[in-house]
Structure 1
Amino acid sequence: MLIERAYVDLSEEARAESGDSWPWTVPCVRRLATDGLKFRAPVTFLVGENGSGKSTLAEALAEGFGLDSYGGSAGYKYASSREPSVLGQAIRFDATAVGRRMVRGPRTRRRGFFLRAETAFDVLGRARLSGAPEEMSHGEGFLMAFREKFRQPGLYVLDEPEAALSFSSCLELLGVLHELRRGGAQVVCATHSPLLTALPGAEIVEVGEHGMRSVEWDDELALVDHWRRYLTDPRAYLRHIID
């Protein structure tokens, strides 16, 4: 692992001014600012409803590590006009020895990739891949990036990578994540996918009005419970929507 804990470093003045403004009003960000976020496994999944703050948190972690907030590899700027977020500028890390050499060294020493669903196709078009992403579907382009860019030890932050992937492609991504952690990399992934979060040995952090909490996939994760109930009896959900 590279990062053992993420926390927010704000001056007293900045902390006083941030209390009633976004993103500090988001419960998971407020929890991060007060208690920090510990990483207990090489792969961490952030789950929660739309608007819960998981993407905000993922982007800030990427920025704090030196990954471009627009998306892309460490050490390069694909979107120089995009200003770093307030939260991303305030993120600090308690890192392992390997992680400290990346975090404290020059930007070009850092390794990793930030993949966000909204900008992934543009970023992949600028990346050096063996094929041309514009000639592929979004899912094929994603998988090519996973195979070719997700290889060496570093921090890989993914924001809803399942958006363009089929069931079988999600399984392939699981294999990539498994190989990354075996090779010494660390992954933080914001997702709505019960398939991805089933990766054995991964930690699942559920974000919401409660802030953040670690949950178990089978017993406590709400999205798994909802999918299981829906697939068992779709009408139990659909009757409230289409009747």
Structure 2
Amino acid sequence: MIVERAYAHMASYDEREWPWSVPCVRLLLEEGLRFTAPVTFLVGENGSGKSTLVEALAEGFGLDSWGGSHDWRYATQRGKSVLGERIRFDAATPRGRRMMGSRSARKGFFLRAETALDALDREGFAPDLVSHGEGFLAAFRGKFLQPGLYVMDEPEAALSFTSCLELLGHLDQLVRRGGQVVCATHSPLLTALPGADIIEVGEHGMRRVAWDELTLVDHWRRYLADPRAYLRHVLD
């Protein structure tokens, strides 16, 4: 692992203003976020704050909030978010301490669904020559290689079932090489990765949950068993 804890300090803040109004952000300020496994999944409903968290973690590590690798910055020099500029890390290993001590030593990649293809194009992957999903997989095959911190925001958005399985294989190989992953996701397939730490984000803030106790897993099980039980509430 590279980092064992992320935290941020604020002398004062208004809980009515974003992002301090988001429960998981307030808990990050109060207690920090401890990483207990090489792969951490953040799950929760839309608006729960999981994407806010992963973007801030990426920025705190020196990755561009637009997406891309450790040695690439977006052309507009987009500034860090108000939370990202305050994120700090405790290193987990001597390698992590070296990365924390020198920006040039940091390795990693931030993959976000909205800007992935643009980031890949700027890094020479020519995603216009392949499908959206293949462009994502190109990043996993070509950029998720070195020990470092890899942050992802809903990578399953462009991936089929079998491509998600391939992604899990890449993540397994990455952590075997010394990499660490933090991923926001809605996918019960991804979160089933053996040994991963799963943190459910919501009105409660953040809490660790076993895979088979996740709300999203329960909903998918129920839906696949009887779609009509859900559809009757949304269809005329």
State the TM-score, normalized to the length of structure 2.
0.97
Contact 1:156 1:186 in 2 (8 A): yes
Matched, 1:120 2:97: no
Partner of 2:82: 86
Q: Pick from 97, 100, 112: which aligns with 2:97?
A: 100
- SS of the equivalent of 1:21 reads coil
Which residue in 2 is equivalent to 1:66?
62
* Residue 242 (structure 1) aligns with: 235
Match for residue 215 of structure 2 among 196, 207, 222 = 222
Counterpart mapping for 1:42-57 below 5 A? 42-57=38-53
Contact 2:64 2:72 in 1 (8 A): yes
Amino acid at match of 2:171: L
- Aligned residue identity for 2:219: H
Q: Which residue pairs with 1:134 in the alignment?
A: 128
* TM-score calculated relative to the size of structure 1: 0.94
Is structure 2 residue 176 aligned with structure 1 residue 179? no
CA shift for structure 1 position 135 = 1.2
- RMSD of Structure 2 on Structure 1 (CA): 1.0
Q: Does 2:188 align with 1:194?
A: yes
Structure 1 CA distance for aligned equivalents of residues 215 and 44 of structure 2: 9
Instruction: Report the identity percentage.
Output: 71
Aligned partners of 2:166 and 2:2: how far apart in 1?
A: 24
Cα distance in 1 for partners of 2:14, 2:68 equals 29
Contact 2:6–2:33 (CA under 8 A) maintained in structure 1: yes
Question: Higher mean Cα deviation, 78-87 or 45-54?
Answer: 78-87
Given that 1:75 and 1:109 are in contact with CA atoms closer than 8 Å, whether structure 2 keeps it comes out as no
- Mapped partners of 2:49, 2:187: distance in 1: 16
CA deviations on 1:4-53 (whole Å, 9 max, x unpaired) are: 0111033x2xxx24443210110000000001011000000000000000
Q: Deviations over 1:176-203 (max 9, x none)?
A: 0111111110000000000000000000
Aligned residues: 235
Report the alpha carbon displacement of residue 109 of structure 1 after superposing the two structures with TM. 1.6
* Unaligned 5+ runs, structure 1: none
Structure 2 distance, partners of 1:44, 1:127, is: 26
Q: Distance in 1 between matches of 2:75 and 2:197?
A: 31
- State the match for 1:40 in structure 2: 36
What does residue range 19-34 of structure 1 map to in structure 2 within 5 Å?
Answer: 19-34=15-30
Give the conservation status (yes or no) of the 8 Å contact 2:13–2:20.
Answer: no
Quote how far apart the aligned CAs of 1:161 are.
0.3
Alignment match, 1:5: 5
Structure 2, unmatched stretches of 5+, are none
**Structure 1 residues 54-95: Cα deviation after superposition (integer angstroms, max 9, x where no partner):** 000000000000001110000321244311001001101111
CA pair 207-78 structure 1, distance change in 2 beyond 3 A: same
Stretch moving more, 161-170 or 90-99: 90-99
**Equivalent position SS for 2:30:** helix
